């Protein structure tokens, strides 16, 4: 059995540009993702993030290379229809626009859509719908109409719809980009809880560096190439690299960087907001201590 849940080898994928010419969307992607990992994928528009996501649950087919999901080669071509359904069940996907992924006019019917397609028996569907709603904190909304919910709530319903298929991995393709800050926070906390408590592998494609900071690992794509695969700490300790790639630098990292440039010594590699605040506090305390010591000596 494979120790990695997702593994790709020399993965290439092309797309047709507006002139009908084949252009590379992904070039030589080698990726290993363990079960239960929390991965952020960042990169500019057109860097191949969404293409990568769609390859992983067989919406797209690669030009060449191998993809293994849970030890199974999904590029081998001898897959039956039920194998494909099984892959899509294991690797669920949540998209950017909440309106364009909800199918039914009633919340519970929408969540049931996946299990219904999989032919799950009715009482079991009911159990899964209840459980999924509970997990995303939307209990009591069973009979609501999706179009009356807020963006964050719709996205949580979409996550519940994926959860009801009992996936092992959830890919979020910029799932927070159309939400207001509150909706974004709802979705992120839901996803993090699923990752922590249920061991679901999470692949989060995002433009928000503050979200990427919270992942176990960050993958950076640029023009179809995987150019960085490291921890957020390693990545964000190099703000110059991010700027070169045309990516945002998290505010916290930016602040520390600026302070250092002004000649203020800050120890460690603070990345998240909390760490940043702590590092600055520590720096201020040291300064005060030094000042007091200086006074004492005088």
Partner 1 sequence: MNNISFGQYYPADSLIHSLDARFKVICAFLYIVCSFLCKNILSFAALLASAVILVAVSGIPMRILLRALRPIIFILLFTVVINMFWTTGETLLFSWWKIRVYYEGIMNALFIAVRIVVLIIGTSIFMTYTTTPIALTDALESLLSPLKVVKAPVHEFAMMITIALRFIPTLTEETNRIMAAQKARGADFTSGSVFKRARALIPVLVPLFVSAFRRADELATAMECRCYHGGEGRTRLNVPHCRPRDFVMLFVIIAFGAGLILINIYGVGYTMK
DSSP 3-state assignment of 196? helix
Compare residues 113 and 241 and give the one whose CB is closer to partner 1.
Answer: 113
181 contact partners, CB below 8 Å, separation of at least 6: none
Q: Supply the minimum distance, in Å, between the C-beta of residue 15 and partner 1.
A: 14
Q: Which long-range contacts (CB under 8 A, 24 or more apart) does 194-198 make?
A: 194/135, 194/159, 194/163, 194/170, 195/36, 195/38, 198/135
Token pair in block for residue 279: 């590092």
Q: Supply the minimum distance, in Å, between the C-beta of residue 111 and partner 1.
A: 8
Give the pairing type, strands 169-173 and 201-205. Answer: parallel
Compare residues 16 and 147 and give the one whose CB is closer to partner 1.
Answer: 147
Q: Supply the minimum distance, in Å, between the C-beta of residue 213 and partner 1.
A: 27
Compare residues 80 and 297 and give the one whose CB is closer to partner 1.
Answer: 80
Helix, strand, coil distribution of the chain in percent, nearest 5:
45, 20, 35
Binding-residue pattern over the window 136 to 175 for partner 1, x denoting contact by CB under 8 A: ---------xxxx------------xx--x----------
Number of residues located near partner 1, criterion CB under 8 A: 42
Token pair in block for residue 182: 């509150």
Interface residue with partner 1 among 4, 113, 131, 208 (CB under 8 A) is 113
Binding-residue pattern over the window 80 to 99 for partner 1, x denoting contact by CB under 8 A: -x---x--xx--xx-x-x-x
Q: List b or e across 168-192, with b for residues whose CB sees 16 or more CB atoms inside 10 angstroms.
A: bbbbbbbbbebbeeebbebbbebbb
In contact, 174 and 138? CB cutoff 8 Å: no
Our finding on whether 107 is near partner 1 (CB under 8 A) is no
Interface residue with partner 1 among 11, 33, 69, 125 (CB under 8 A) is 125
Our finding on whether 101 is near partner 1 (CB under 8 A) is yes
Q: Supply the minimum distance, in Å, between the C-beta of residue 166 and partner 1.
A: 12
Contact positions with partner 1 (CB under 8 A) in 33-72: 54, 57, 59
Give the residues lining the site for partner 1 (CB under 8 A). Answer: 54, 57, 59, 81, 85, 88-89, 92-93, 95, 97, 99-106, 108-109, 112-122, 125-126, 129, 145-148, 161-162, 165
């Amino acid at each position: 059995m494979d120790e990695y849940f997702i593994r790709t080898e020399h993965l290439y994928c092309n797309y047709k540009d507006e002139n009908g010419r084949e252009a590379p969307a992904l070039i030589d992607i080698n990726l290993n993702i363990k079960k239960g990992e929390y991965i952020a994928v960042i990169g500019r528009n057109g860097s191949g993030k969404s293409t990568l996501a769609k390859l992983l649950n067989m919406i797209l087919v690669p030009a060449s290379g191998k993809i293994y999901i849970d030890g199974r080669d999904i590029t081998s071509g001898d897959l039956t229809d039920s194998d494909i359904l099984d892959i899509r069940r294991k690797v669920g996907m949540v998209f950017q626009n909440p309106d364009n992924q909800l199918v039914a006019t009633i919340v519970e019917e929408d969540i049931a859509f996946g299990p219904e397609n999989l032919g799950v028996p009715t009482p079991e569907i009911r159990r899964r719908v209840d459980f999924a709603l509970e997990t995303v904190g939307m209990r009591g909304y069973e009979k609501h109409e999706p179009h009356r919910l807020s963006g964050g709530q719709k996205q949580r319903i979409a996550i519940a719809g994926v959860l009801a298929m009992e996936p092992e991995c959830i890919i979020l393709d910029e799932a927070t980009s159309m939400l207001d800050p509150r909706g974004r926070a709802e979705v992120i906390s839901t996803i993090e809880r699923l990752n922590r408590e249920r061991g679901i592998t999470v692949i989060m494609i995002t433009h928000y560096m503050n979200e990427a900071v919270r992942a176990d690992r960050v993958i950076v794509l640029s023009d179809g190439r995987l150019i960085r695969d490291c921890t957020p700490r390693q990545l964000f300790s190099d703000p110059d690299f991010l700027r070169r790639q045309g990516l945002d630098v998290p505010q916290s990292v930016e602040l520390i960087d600026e302070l250092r440039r002004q000649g203020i010594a800050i120890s460690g590699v603070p990345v998240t907001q909390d760490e940043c605040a702590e590092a600055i506090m520590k720096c201020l305390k040291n300064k005060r201590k030094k000042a007091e010591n200086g006074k004492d000596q005088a």
